[in-house]
Structure 1
Amino acid sequence: MLTIEAFSLYIMICVLAPLIGAFTLLFLFVFEKRIDLIEKEKNEIALENELQKARYNQLNQEIQPHFFFNTMNSILSLARLERKQELIHSIETFSKLLKHKYKTNTTFITIEEELSYVLSYLEIQKIRFRDRLEYQITAEPDVQQAITLPFLIQTLVENAFKHSFEKKAGKAELAIHIEAEGPALRITVTNSLPNEGESDSADGGIGLSNISKRLDLLFPDEEKSVGISHSPHRTKVEVVFPLVYKSDLKE
């Protein structure tokens, strides 16, 4: 037979047990959220570090002295030939390109923004390569406001010149194609005159390795890939990652 004290203790346990359980679950929920927040902040810091590394690589490798001086010599030749309109356009384009190199400091930009700077770069290269260079850019209208990593497309384009067009004679043909494939965005850059000095993996070069690392940080739990393939007549690089629009991030 229960005593009054034992019965009171039993009642107290019955009352307190659900409360203790609820507080424990609440604590675990808050703790888990805190862990997720810390992990998110850690990824954001790592992503920013990789972006700074990408900027460093762009400033110290892609804008190489030979590119700079060859471009300046091309602009100087326009001045000597008194081709005023072409000269003004070339200086404006070169200035826009350098401004982008030095001032881009966000973790992502839109496809439309990235392509505008890629076009500046290609216009400069057109001055250098003249009729030898042909390029084509195709991007579906509905992907223009999709986000991408800063320098992603430009790095792939610059690799084509650095590892191919500047090392080999012949027609320099470049094709950039961007399309949506269900929930994914596919960016393909193909160039004639196969690249030299790059392996078939994303770790084959600083540029591709950096792109792969930044994609892992920006989309840690999503499918993505960076691949490069060579054939006797071309080199193709494909980058696939989740299709996310800038407007989605604002909501």
Structure 2
Amino acid sequence: MLFYLFESLVFCSVVFSILSFFLLISLPIVEKEINFLELENTKVRLQNRLQESELLQLSRQIQPHFMFNTLNVILSLARLKRQENLIEGIERFSMYLRYKYTDKTDLIPFSVELDQIKNYIYIQKLRFGRKLSVDIQVNDTELTAGIPPYTLQILVENAFKHAFGKNTGDKRLSISLERTGNWVELRVADNGSEPLNLQPDHGIGLENIRRRLRLLFDLYTEVSIIKNAARETVVKVVWPYTIVEDEP
């Protein structure tokens, strides 16, 4: 009986020694795996910070010509003593500046971006008067669709700078947003006569949007520009549909 007990103790001690040996051998491997995971996590964090920095830089590449045009419009209204238009124009311009220089998330509700564009268009109507007509087609259900900040603004500013800059006749601008399945399709069309991508700044603006969409989404996105049957320039932007609620 004592012999079997002694034999069991010896067996257990041998097994324990073997297990301890393999455990000691495996410790450096486990440590290396942990260090590797820490390096990967650090790498991911750095990539996210770089993306956030690049998104912020891209978001603030807004053309400055609107600033100068607005100041000229305000000066003209003051000279003509059109006080009501002058006050409204200054209020809209201040809201435009406040929107531009406030921090934003990667995606904001389309309603917020649209309100900003309405301020912009109001000032442009003071500038062009009855020669400018704007058609906006957006359903209420699509106003919560998330959009990268300044996307619509870049498209509309491009239309005024490149399409309407030399157009002395009537100026027509249309904006539409439509959800198609899991994607959102934004279209901005104008009747300007400029050839496609004639100005370098025009291409930079569209490339700005392309890069931001690629940084934000791993799914299909699209930025394209064409002339339709009515000879209008149409810019189309497609990105994944995401609901973003406006902050109270």
CA distance 1:224–1:217, shift in 2 (3 Å): same
Partner residue, 2:75 = 76
Partner residue, 1:54 = 59
Partner residue, 1:244 = 242
Partner residue, 2:7 = none
Tell me the distance in 2 between the aligned counterparts of 1:174 and 1:182. 26
Which blocks of at least 5 consecutive residues in structure 1 are unaligned? none
Partner residue, 1:184 = 183
The percentage of aligned residue pairs carrying the same residue is 35
CA distance 1:182–1:122, shift in 2 (3 Å): same
CA RMSD of aligned residues (A): 3.3
Partner residue, 1:63 = 64
Which residues in structure 2 correspond to 1:57-136 (within 5 Å)?
A: 57-58=61-62, 62-64=63-65, 67-136=66-135
Deviation at 1:155, TM superposition (A): 0.2
Tell me the distance in 1 between the aligned counterparts of 2:206 and 2:114. 18
Partner residue, 1:230 = 227
Scaled by the length of structure 2, what TM-score is found? 0.78
Residue 64 of structure 2 aligns with an amino acid whose one-letter code is I
| Secondary structure of the corresponding residue to residue 189 of structure 2 | strand
If you compute each CA radius of gyration, which structure gives the higher value, 1 or 2? Answer: 2
Residue-pair matches, total: 230
Partner residue, 2:44 = 39
Deviation at 1:172, TM superposition (A): 0.7
Which blocks of at least 5 consecutive residues in structure 2 are unaligned? 1-9
| Secondary structure of the corresponding residue to residue 205 of structure 1 | helix
Structure 1 ranges of 4+ moved more than 4 A: 27-34
Scaled by the length of structure 1, what TM-score is found? 0.77
Tell me the distance in 2 between the aligned counterparts of 1:242 and 1:98. 29
The superposition leaves residues 154-197 of structure 1 with CA deviations (integer Å, 9 ceiling, x where unpaired) of: 00000001111012222110011011111001111011124446
Is the Cα contact below 8 Å between 2:106 and 2:149 reproduced in 1?
Answer: yes
